[in-house]
Structure 1
Amino acid sequence: MNKILKNSILVLALLSFNFGYSWGTTGHRVIAEIAQNNLNGKAKRNLKKLIGDQKLAYWANWPDLIKSDTTGVWKPTDQWHYVNVPKQTNIKQFAESLKAQAGPNIYSQIKVLSEQIKDKNTSKQDKEIALRFLIHLVGDAAQPMHVGRFEDLGGNKIKLKFFGENTNLHSLWDSKLVDFQKYSYTEFARVLDVKSKEEVKLIQTGTLEDWLYDSHLAANRIYANSVADSNYSYDYNYKFNPLLERQLLYGGLRLAKILNEVL
């Protein structure tokens, strides 16, 4: 078993719920494509040494796809995709709640994976696997419901309809809102990635705690404006499309920031 899994704490217990897939294939590729377009020269060179000419978007959904593996080897990584924090209204309390979490989660693993990629003693194979997870988890961190609440499993238990189709709040934000925009991932990345250098720098400031708190605040807004058993359509898209686009863009630019630092 590779180094990444050996370093994981295999604590399943109450944290081992299946939170479903994240952002859907399109959303994760949008974030990866934006990150690819904002890499610096050194990161591009080191990335080429690691994965050749393949693009970040190619690996963006791999950590979700391996959930179908039947060997159980990757099962402990299910917990890496999210963190549950009760509603917080200030960054200090939120950061304390993050650090008090038991077992591996999106917060702890982004840090672990970043260090593994930077470590010269990490094998090329383990660095590549760490990169695949890092691309995906930073994307997950920008999906508000992955920084949601334990009691409803990040919105999975909040049933509703979108244009008459049964779904839940988590799935709505994972894929249905993204797919409703009818962009390919390259088109979506292109229309979002138009910020000035000064704006990009501002978006990329802050710590991982700050970024997760940003998503947590977005989740609080979504919870407050999403009523169980409702049948949403154009109204919901109108209300939340700006937030959706913001989260995808911020996820991509912040992933680029991390990759520029670790590669």
Structure 2
Amino acid sequence: MGCHELSWLGRLLLLMQLVDGVFSWGKYGHYAVCKIAEGYVSEDAMGTVRKLLPEWAKGELAAVCSWPDDIKWNYNWHWTSSLHYVDTPNSKCNYNYYRDCYDSSGHRNHCVTAAIFNYTNQLFSAYQGYNPRFNYNLTEALMFLAHYMADVHQPLHVGFIGDLGGTSVKVGWYRRKTNLHHVWDTLIIDTAVKTLYGSDLSAMIQAIQKNITDAWSNDRSSWESCIYNNTVCPNLYASESVRFACKFAYRNATPGTTLQDDYFLSRLPVVEKRLAQGGIRLAAVLNRLMPLQWLDDNQHEVA
């Protein structure tokens, strides 16, 4: 690696530290959503998923689910940054696609729900008998869809525009200073893994899977379904998220507040349920999209 590459890498790492926690469930959250989904993807659909996955994933969907976060700081991928979230007007605890789906430059249809529609449509074009006008990169479409399905279930990815989804709400998390968005992206999950699950993410995922089987078993079918039998319904997921943001994320978390056990223990069940819903819904979308079939190599190679 030359001096230029090392310099670029150093600037990238510095930038990632400065924006720590912005626009991402965090690797634990994305891994959990996709690992949960793997348990509910049909055998036929999983066969197609494995054909689309890049070689480095070694057949594991969860291995690729943080990829859109890994590449968005690259200049060539910077345009994807606005696709990880959607902001709503301040104190409006509801979501409206036509009102809310635009980026910071005012470009319409640049938000997480639009991205989910887009990449679902790309995969639909390939697997439901429609001859697309464009030769889509279906590997990238799968990785983006899996990632954004998780993002839209994080309540503060559908937070208020005035505080950038809680990013500018400075709070304490036990003994450290942070922002409210990072609490929901990463710190609630990290704290739970460390203090309740023996520093074992797989134990947390297993606990969520047990709740899906037991406590939430009657809810699963409603999570999977979409109105009018649509393939995917991200507007519903975003509407849920902003309601959770108002009811749980923003409540008792004003700037300067130090959040500790009361906040952590009362919000963790919300986080775990949203991870479960994201995983179940991702699996349902893939099952609706992907019958088992052979692919031409040029359909799914990663550039």
TM over 0.5: yes
Gap change, CA 1:147 and 1:260, over 3 Å in 2: same
| 2:157 match | 146
Residue 42 (structure 1) shift:
2.1
| 1:200 match | 220
Gap change, CA 1:185 and 1:152, over 3 Å in 2: same
Residue 94 (structure 1) shift:
3.1
| 2:258 match | 231
Residue 48 (structure 1) shift:
2.1
User: What is the correspondence of 1:146-225 to structure 2 with a 5 Å cutoff?
Assistant: 146-182=157-193, 183=197, 184-194=200-210, 195-196=212-213, 198-206=218-226, 207-221=233-247, 222-225=249-252
Question: What amino acid maps onto 2:40 in structure 1?
Answer: N
Rounded Cα–Cα distance in structure 2 between residues aligned with 1:139 and 1:89? 20
Please state if 1:79 is matched with 2:82: yes
Rounded Cα–Cα distance in structure 2 between residues aligned with 1:134 and 1:59? 11
Question: What amino acid maps onto 1:179 in structure 2?
Answer: D
Residue 198 (structure 1) shift:
4.2
2:121 to 115, 125, 129: 115
The answer (yes or no) to whether the contact 2:101–2:109 under 8 Å persists in 1 is no
The answer (yes or no) to whether the contact 1:27–1:185 under 8 Å persists in 2 is no
Question: What amino acid maps onto 1:225 in structure 2?
Answer: N
The answer (yes or no) to whether the contact 1:33–1:186 under 8 Å persists in 2 is no
Provide the aligned C-alpha RMSD in A: 2.2
Question: What amino acid maps onto 2:29 in structure 1?
Answer: G
Residue 187 (structure 1) shift:
2.2
The answer (yes or no) to whether the contact 1:27–1:248 under 8 Å persists in 2 is yes
| 2:299 match | none
Please state if 1:258 is matched with 2:258: no
Question: CA deviation digits over 1:160-205, x for unaligned, max 9?
Answer: 1101201000001010110001243332221101324643112223
Question: What amino acid maps onto 1:47 in structure 2?
Answer: V
The answer (yes or no) to whether the contact 2:25–2:184 under 8 Å persists in 1 is yes
The answer (yes or no) to whether the contact 1:67–1:75 under 8 Å persists in 2 is yes
| 2:298 match | none
**Structure 1 runs, 4 residues or longer, greater than 6 Å off:** 122-125
Residue 96 (structure 1) shift:
4.8
Rounded Cα–Cα distance in structure 2 between residues aligned with 1:105 and 1:153? 13
Residue 215 (structure 1) shift:
0.6
Gap change, CA 1:21 and 1:185, over 3 Å in 2: farther
Question: Which structure 2 segments of 5+ residues have no match?
Answer: 1-18, 227-232, 291-303
Normalised TM-score (structure 2): 0.74
The answer (yes or no) to whether the contact 1:83–1:105 under 8 Å persists in 2 is yes
Question: CA deviation digits over 1:104-156, x for unaligned, max 9?
Answer: 11011100000111222568871001111111100000101100111101101
Gap change, CA 1:262 and 1:124, over 3 Å in 2: farther
Secondary structure, in 3 states, of the residue corresponding to 1:84?
Answer: coil
Question: What amino acid maps onto 2:172 in structure 1?
Answer: K
Query: How many residues get paired?
Result: 242
Question: CA deviation digits over 1:76-95, x for unaligned, max 9?
Answer: 000100001124456xx635
Normalised TM-score (structure 1): 0.84
The answer (yes or no) to whether the contact 2:149–2:278 under 8 Å persists in 1 is yes
1:32 to 31, 34, 58: 34
Look at both structures and tell me which one has the larger radius of gyration over its CA atoms.
Answer: 2
Question: What amino acid maps onto 2:110 in structure 1?
Answer: P
Residue 45 (structure 1) shift:
1.7
| 1:47 match | 49
Gap change, CA 1:210 and 1:112, over 3 Å in 2: same
Secondary structure, in 3 states, of the residue corresponding to 1:167?
Answer: strand
Rounded Cα–Cα distance in structure 1 between residues aligned with 2:218 and 2:23? 33
Question: Which structure 1 segments of 5+ residues have no match?
Answer: 1-17
**% identical equivalent positions:** 28
